[in-house]
Amino acid sequence: MKQSSINKYSLAIAVLTLASFSSMLPAGAEDSVTVNISLKDHRFQPAELHAPANKPIMIIVKNLDPAPAEFESNMLRVEKVVTGGGTITLRIRPLEPGRYRFFDDFHQETQGYLVVQ
């Protein structure tokens, strides 16, 4: 008797958990926008990225330099190392319109902007 009520309770939790995960999926997977940027000779190309407001953004960073870099932005709340010749993917939350600065934390003069409109 006690055992079965615990099982029902766990089942309810499991169903609720699944329901909340599946309701999260469409917003992240279907609506997200992907933008590409590369690093070459310690410069971002392009130096200005554009993305729509209020949608999750995926930034794919390709490092064409042999030296490692660290894509960082306080405004975007990201910080991630990309090895020489490597590629990283950054997931950014939906943003309000604005100009968001980012930089290479290993070479701080290397910077760019994400323009959200």
Contact between residue 81 and residue 69 where contact means Cβ atoms under 8 Å apart: yes
Q: Provide CB contacts within 8 A for 91, sequence distance 6+.
A: 32, 56, 57, 58
Eight-class DSSP state of 67: S
Q: What's the min distance (Å) between Cβ of 62 and Cu ion?
A: 19
Which of 55, 58, 62, 105 touches Cu ion (CB under 5 A)? 105
Q: Which of the residues 16 through 75 are near Cu ion (CB under 5 A)?
A: 70, 72
The residue (of 31 and 79) whose beta carbon lies closer to Cu ion is 79
Q: C-alpha distances in angstroms, 59 versus 11, 50, 54?
A: 38, 11, 15
- 104 part of the interface to Cu ion, by CB under 5 A: no
Mask: binding to Cu ion, 64-83, rule CB under 5 A, as x and -?
------x-x------x----
Binding site for Cu ion (CB under 5 A): 70, 72, 79, 105
